[in-house]
Every structure is written in structure tokens, then in C-alpha cells.
Amino acid sequence: MTQPASDKVILDPRFAPPFPQGALNVLRNPQLRKNVAHAIDVIQSKRGKLVAEKTDWQELRSAASALRAHVLENLDAYLEEFEARCTAAGGEVHWAADAAQARQIILGLLRQEGAREVIKIKTMTSAEIQLNPFLEAHGVKTYETDLAEIILQLGEQEPSHIVVPALHVNRAQVREIFARRMGLENLSDDPQALTAAARTYLRQKFLTIPTAISGANFLVAETGSVAIVESEGNGRMCLTLPRAMITLAGIEKVLPRFGDLELMLQLLARSATGERMNPYTSLWTGVTPGDGPQRFHVVLLDNGRSAMLRRPVERQTLRCIRCAACMNACPVYRQTGGHAYGSVYPGPIGAILTPQLMHLQHAQTLPYASSLCGACYEVCPVKINIPQVLLELRAQVTNQERHQAARFLDPMYLGLRIANFLFARAGRFHLAQRFGRIGIRLFTRRDGWIHSLPSIGAKWTQTRDLRGFPRQTFHEWWAARDKEAK
Amino acid sequence: MTSSAEARQQILDSIRAGTESVAQSAAKLADAYAALPRAYNHHGQLNTEALLALMVERLREYGAEVVECSPGQLTATIAAQLSASGKHIFAAPAGLPAAWFIPGFDWKVDYNLTTQEIELAEGVVTSSSAGIADSGTIALHHSPAEGRRVLSLLPDWHLCVLYASQVVESLPEYFSRIPQPPRLATWISGPSATADIEMTRIKGVHGPRFLHVVLVRDERKPETVLERLPQANDL
């Protein structure tokens, strides 16, 4: 069974529906909810076991948090050092202020290579700048090589998680996509067979397409090296077989020294997939004669990141190493899946990252897509206080709304203004209580519960019931009790 | 559209506008870096036997095959592994010790082999730079005895020789003991795998499906802490 076509998923925050609306697609789709919950449960139980066996987990988190904060405070110096070392090692470093510039730089490099096809290692940053549709529109065919990314690309679906992007698709759906797009009618839905089909499908691509695009997990300033963690070996293929390699990396990805990897690599795989180490981690430095691509480019992408440094609370968002532990731990993500967030970065990290990358001009509902339970903060390997950033962003969103002329048409705004007036004096408050109780009785059913309210009250009762008001307020009861005592 | 150079200036200016440490000197930066908290475990706790046992256990957990031998038995052990594999064509880096080229097999020695030639090999034999017991990781630094990166990638079967004296307990021990950062490195923790379909772990997507490790019990004095790891070519 496949997803109905009406569930068109939009991961561009400029056009995506608000979070509560986006969430409905999943909430109404039991198969999708089952797929998401199953994947999350598996990762969570593996992660829990491996984190528990690490006696110095909290010390690792503290060290990583301090290290990443230090990098952000001195980002200019470390980027310049990375650029110098990478260049000295034979790489070429490009700087892109925004997504459009990054796309142009990459297209220019591909044209220079005469590339009509390109193989790609999974990179969320390339999804952020919507690179694939841009390249396809300019005559360059893109081939994703990560198994999950192939499923999405061939199935024309969108990622719903940053580490396991196809976790919302089950084996029957994968079988259907592969059978249709690879022309394999007799393919079984055994994951082993599906994986083998992907291996065969990609082998010739790896051996023949001479240009590759990757992201980066870490850039090392000291040596000018780039590190990529992966599981399948598609990364190693793309890093060694092509003649030319283009790496797209957010400016925040840099680490000061080679030795800092000892810290990040202990945290990343455990947090991301519940493994002590991912099967393959590759590190390379510029160009090495006789080994791997002989032309190597790094595109450093800002796209709203440097502006995030200005606010000390929000700055911590950039410590993120994209492990996805926060979304795996999040009770909201578990229910809604990733597509509801309307961004390639879903979950708690997406809820704080996306609005900031959009300069709060879009995705303003995302800071509210949280119960502020703090589970994300607790699991974050670099200790990003996500609830704190969410609250800060909510304050900013509210501030924005406060300056909009249209606010007087918003029942929520008017309601809160009236509440503000009523709650300011005890007399007004008691009066309002008395009338409110009479009014609310109209909506209270015989079972003592309110099942539906009109207007903005419906925002509450759409998804949950409200207990009817008691006959007496606490104050009234207290006063009556005093009287009786006398 | 701004040029890359203009974007560079723009980005760096924007970063400097947002951070406190505008005109920090290199010395101050180094001091701030040195002062960062690093209270996590830097040293292992295990004795040699426990350390090697852990390395073997973790490798086996990943589905890697491990055999142990003394230095004197190494050649015979490699020969036995190659025979048992049922394969005949093996790729090898040019710097592989001469004794490891077991006669009777078809050796493709990497004097600039083409990708197609490597692809034809059924297996590959390499040495390695370190073993990290905690995560069952084998580090390749791609020295002449370890070979180019592609060499240990395309063949479906990889036999890797690891000396006991190269095994450390944790990543911090590994990073503090390698003499200098390698230009290239591949850290392998078990065979190629994926869990992208319903979180079911499947061995062997694009990298070798079969990883065989020969652990050579060379002289390793239990009480001494290695200052630096012996490199592949020292052994």
C-alpha cells in the first residue's frame, strides 16, 4: 500500500502548511504512524543500552558542548584555518552566502567538469538548498546512493528524518517502489533482497559516473580534512571512485583539531543509530595523488547561519551535529513524523533551526510544536537547550505579531487582551468568573465535560475535552467554610 | 550575485558581528582551546588479555570473522583463510609484506590497478594501523601496506591483519597515540551494513560483505603503556 497522492508533502518552509495542519496527514494515517513508531522504538532501545554502558557519557556531553560552543565563538578563525589547510592540501574552498549562490557555485563546478550526471552521498545540507531539483532543471541528473535516499528519490517522496530519512516507508512500500522503478517485477519484500537490488542498481553508477557531491559531518581546521560517517559504503564509493568531488558543508561544521574527533565520534553514532561506531568513517585531506578524486572542492554555506550567532541563546542551535537523537526522543515527533514540520530538518532541532534559517519570516508555528518536556535536551550529545531556544523563539514570534495591524482581527489576540484587562483586578476577575460560569453551562454536557466550543475555543476542543466549571470557585467555598465555622 | 570572494568577506564579517572574540590573537585562541573541559575517560582500564578479548568480542558482534595466531603462524594462517574462502583472485597493496603473498592464488598487486581490475578481484588482503577495542574498530591509514582506499572497498571479501600491539582500548587512546594525523583514514567497524528498511540490519550494501581479521599475538608487554602506536610499516 502506498501513500495517497493527496498527501503532497512540502518541505519548503516558505510554502509548507502550518505545523498543526501538516501534522494531520500523519495523524490520520495509521500505517504511517506505525512505521514511524516502529523505527523510533528500535533506535531508542539500542541507543539506551549503548549510552548506559558508557560510564563517562555526561562528561563526554559536557566536553562536546563546550568544544562546539568554543568553535562558534571563534568561527571566523577556525574557518580561515580550515580554508588555508585545505587549500594547501590541494582542495579548493568556495564560500556561499545563501542557497542560491551555493547552487550556482555547484552547477558551475559541474559544468567545468562537463558533468551530466552526478552521484551523491546523503547530505541534508543539499536538501536544505534544494540542490537536486535545481540540478535536474539545469540538465544534470542526480543519483542518490544512500539506500534510504534511493527509496525517496525513486518513490518521489520527501525525507522525514535526518538520519533514517525513509523511516516512514515500510518494506512493502519499498518493494513496490523498487519493482516499479527498477523494473523488477518478481522482487520480494525481504529487506535483504531489497538491499541487494539497490546494490546492483548502483554498482554501475559508482563505476562510471566521474563526479560526486557529498555533505560533511566534520571539517578539521588543523589539517583541512573532511570527515564523513556512514554505514553502507556508498560514501566510500563516492569518495574514492570519481575524478572530482564537491563537498557542501554548513559553516558551523568545523572542529579545531584532528584529535577532537575522539570526542565527537564517541557521541555521534551512539546518539544517531545506537551503534558504538558506524561501520565506516572516512577522513580525507585535500587531494592525494593516486588515491581518490584529483579535483576537490568544498563549498562553505552560510544561508542564515552567521546571523544566528548574534543571539547567545539561539546560537547554541549551531552546535548541532545532526545525530537526530532529539527527534527520536520527542513525544511530538513520534506522533506526527517528520513531514509535519514542513522542512528538511524535522523534530525538535528542526523546530528551532528552521524558523531561524528563515529569519522568522516563515515556519512561525514550529516553535510551538513542542510540549517543552525537555526530552530533547536530555539526550542531546552537545547539550543544546532546545526548550530554552523554543521559548525564546516563541517570544520573538509573539513580538512580531504584536506589531502587525491585522492583530485586531485575530480572536486569539483579542481574547488575550480582554483576559489581560479582566485579570488585572480582583473585582473584574470575580465578575468575569460569575458570568463565565453561566455562559459555559450552555456548552457543558450532562457528563460534566465540554466536548465542543465555538470560535477559538474549538482549538482546544478539536483534540481534547474540557472539564465543565464547578458550581463553586475555591474562593467561594473558602468564604462559605469560614462563615460556617463562625 | 556576489562572487565567492565577496561572499567570504560577507560571511566572515557577519560572524565577527555576532561573536565576542573579534580580534582574538592566535595565542589567546589556543589558550581558550586548552582550557576546554575534557573530563571524560582518556585511559583504558583493561589488561592486555581483557583488551584483546574485548576487541575480538566486538568484531564478532559485527559479524566479522576473527582468527588469532602467533607471529610465526601468520603466513600459514593467511594461507588457511584464503583457502577456506573458496576464492582465487586477490587484490593486494604493493607494500604488503612479501611473505603474505601466498603462492597458488592469483594476486593482483596494486601497481596502479584500474577500477575494473580491482572490481574483478574476489577478495583483498591488507594490513592495518590500529584496532580500537571499545567499538571494535579497525583503522586504516592507507599506508603502502594498507593500500589505496578503493582497494579495500570494491572486493566483497576483506582479510585484514591486525597486531595485538596495535590494539588500544578507546578512541581517546588511539587519537593520543598516533604519531600524526593521517592524510587519509578509514575507520571500519564491521562490514558494510544498513538498517534503512524497517530498521532491519542487513550486512553488505556496497562495501565488503565479509570482513576477516587475523589478530597476531606479537610481543606486547602487559605493563607498559605504548607511547605511540607502531605503524603498519614498522611491523
Cβ-defined contact of B175 to A259 (cutoff 8 Å): yes
Say how far apart CA A345 and CA A318 lie, in whole Å: 13
For A453, the grid coordinates are 466550543
Q: Is the pLDDT of residue A410 over 90?
A: no
CATH code of residue A45: 3.40.50.10420
Cβ-defined contact of B172 to A207 (cutoff 8 Å): no
Q: Which of A50, A76, A275 to mutate to test the interface with B (most CBs of B within 10 A)?
A: A76
Say how far apart CA A146 and CA A159 lie, in whole Å: 12
Say how far apart CA A119 and CA A293 lie, in whole Å: 13
C-alpha distances in Å from residue A408, one per residue of A89, A400, B129: 60, 14, 69
Residue A43 lies in a domain: yes
Cβ-defined contact of A74 to B115 (cutoff 8 Å): no
Q: Provide the pLDDT for residue B230.
A: 61
- Among A352, A384, A403, the domain boundary falls at A403
* Cβ-based contacts of A285 with chain B (< 8 Å): 183-184
Mean pLDDT, rounded, of chain A = 93
**pLDDT band at A401, cuts 50/70/90?**
confident
Q: A17: distance to nearest CA of chain B, Å? A: 28
Residue A96 lies in a domain: yes
Q: Provide the pLDDT for residue A3.
A: 44
Share of residues in chain A with pLDDT > 90 (%): 79
Assess whether A236 and A177 both reside in one domain. yes
Q: Which of B60, B116, B146, B199 to mutate to test the interface with A (most CBs of A within 10 A)?
A: B199
Q: B233: distance to nearest CA of chain A, Å? A: 19
Q: Provide the pLDDT for residue B227.
A: 53
Q: Provide the pLDDT for residue B220.
A: 64
Assess whether A99 and A48 both reside in one domain. yes
Cβ-defined contact of B202 to A309 (cutoff 8 Å): no
Residue A189, burial from CB neighbour count under 10 angstroms (0-12, 13-18, 19+):
middle
Q: Is the pLDDT of residue B196 over 50?
A: yes
* Cβ-based contacts of A289 with chain B (< 8 Å): none
Cβ-defined contact of A282 to B191 (cutoff 8 Å): no
Residue A317 lies in a domain: no
Residue A481 lies in a domain: yes
Residue A13 lies in a domain: yes
Cβ-defined contact of A66 to B12 (cutoff 8 Å): no
Q: Is the pLDDT of residue A219 over 70?
A: yes
Please name which of B191, B90, B136 lies closest in space to residue A199, comparing C-alpha atoms.
Answer: B191
Q: What is the mean pLDDT of residues B212-232?
A: 67
Cβ-defined contact of A63 to B112 (cutoff 8 Å): no
Q: Is the pLDDT of residue B232 over 60?
A: no
* Cβ-based contacts of A279 with chain B (< 8 Å): 62, 188-193, 207
C-alpha distances in Å from residue A366, one per residue of A160, A360, A380, A389: 15, 10, 19, 12
What is the per-residue pLDDT across A50-89, written as a single tens digit (0 to 9) for each? 999 999 999 999 999 999 999 999 999 999 999 999 999 9
Q: Provide the pLDDT for residue A384.
A: 98
Q: Provide the pLDDT for residue A472.
A: 84
Q: How many residues are present in chain B?
A: 235
Q: Which of B168, B170, B174, B206 to mutate to test the interface with A (most CBs of A within 10 A)?
A: B206
For A325, the grid coordinates are 537523537
Q: Which residue has the higher pLDDT, A344 or B1?
A: A344
Cβ-defined contact of A97 to B10 (cutoff 8 Å): yes
Q: Is the pLDDT of residue A310 over 80?
A: yes
**pLDDT band at B53, cuts 50/70/90?**
very high
Cβ-defined contact of B2 to A265 (cutoff 8 Å): no
CB nearest A191 (choices: B40, B202, B204): B202
Cβ-defined contact of A74 to B1 (cutoff 8 Å): no
Q: Which residue has the higher pLDDT, B227 or A153?
A: A153
Assess whether A109 and A239 both reside in one domain. yes
Q: B113: distance to nearest CA of chain A, Å? A: 10
Cβ-defined contact of A63 to B39 (cutoff 8 Å): yes
Say how far apart CA A143 and CA B142 lie, in whole Å: 28
* Cβ-based contacts of A95 with chain B (< 8 Å): 4-5, 7-8, 11
CB nearest A283 (choices: B8, B185, B207): B185
Dihedral (Cα; A343, A348, A351, A357), 10-degree rounding? -70
Q: Which of B28, B205, B229 to mutate to test the interface with A (most CBs of A within 10 A)?
A: B205
Residue A319 lies in a domain: no
pTM of the predicted structure, to 2 decimals: 0.91
B165 three-class SS? helix
Assess whether A392 and A441 both reside in one domain. no
Residue A314 lies in a domain: no
What is the per-residue pLDDT across B136-149, written as a single tens digit (0 to 9) for each? 999 999 999 999 99
Mean pLDDT, rounded, of chain B = 90
Domains (range + CATH), chain B: 48-192+201-221 (3.40.50.10420)
**How far, rounded to the nearest angstrom, does the alpha carbon of residue A397 sit from its chain's CA centroid?**
20
Domain count, chain A: 3
**pLDDT band at A442, cuts 50/70/90?**
confident
CB nearest A306 (choices: B11, B198, B202): B11
Assess whether A423 and A380 both reside in one domain. no
Q: Provide the pLDDT for residue A413.
A: 82
Say how far apart CA B181 and CA A222 lie, in whole Å: 9
Do residues A248 and A102 touch, judged by C-beta distance below 8 A?
yes
Residue A334 lies in a domain: yes
- Among A306, A341, A364, the domain boundary falls at A306
Q: Which of A18-32, A69-83, A293-307, B56-70 has the lowest mean pLDDT?
A: A18-32
Q: Which residue has the higher pLDDT, A28 or A113?
A: A113
Q: What is the mean pLDDT of residues B107-130?
A: 96
Q: Provide the pLDDT for residue A18.
A: 93
* Cβ-based contacts of B134 with chain A (< 8 Å): 276
- Among A247, A278, A306, the domain boundary falls at A306
Q: Which residue of A has its CA nearest to B192?
A: A232
What is the per-residue pLDDT across A111-135, written as a single tens digit (0 to 9) for each? 999 999 999 999 999 999 999 999 9
Assess whether A360 and A435 both reside in one domain. no
Domain that holds residue A480: 411-485
Cβ-defined contact of A279 to B142 (cutoff 8 Å): no
Assess whether A225 and A248 both reside in one domain. yes
Task: Count Cβ neighbours within 10 Å for each residue of A85-108 and write b for 16 or more, e otherwise.
Answer: bbeebebbbbbbbbbebbbebbbe
Q: What is the mean pLDDT of residues B168-178?
A: 94
Assess whether A331 and A420 both reside in one domain. no
Amino acid type, A304: G
Cβ-defined contact of B137 to A277 (cutoff 8 Å): yes
> Residues 6 or more apart from A252 whose CB is under 8 A from it?
A71, A72, A75, A305, A318, A319, A320
* Cβ-based contacts of B171 with chain A (< 8 Å): 261-262, 265-266
Assess whether A370 and A475 both reside in one domain. no
Q: Provide the pLDDT for residue B235.
A: 55
Assess whether A398 and A419 both reside in one domain. no
Assess whether A452 and A474 both reside in one domain. yes
* Cβ-based contacts of A265 with chain B (< 8 Å): 171, 187
Q: Provide the pLDDT for residue A455.
A: 80
Cβ-defined contact of B171 to A265 (cutoff 8 Å): yes
Say how far apart CA A328 and CA A313 lie, in whole Å: 23
Cβ-defined contact of B4 to A198 (cutoff 8 Å): no
Cβ-defined contact of B150 to A240 (cutoff 8 Å): yes
> Residues 6 or more apart from A399 whose CB is under 8 A from it?
none
Give the highest mean pLDDT range of A467-476, B148-157, B186-195. Answer: B148-157
Cβ-defined contact of A199 to B8 (cutoff 8 Å): no
Q: Is the pLDDT of residue A1 over 50?
A: no
CB nearest B172 (choices: A194, A237, A262): A262
Assess whether A247 and A387 both reside in one domain. no
A and B: number of Cβ contacts within 8 A: 249
Q: What is the mean pLDDT of residues A139-143?
A: 98
What is the per-residue pLDDT across A266-288, written as a single tens digit (0 to 9) for each? 999 999 999 999 999 999 999 99
Cβ-defined contact of A280 to B202 (cutoff 8 Å): no
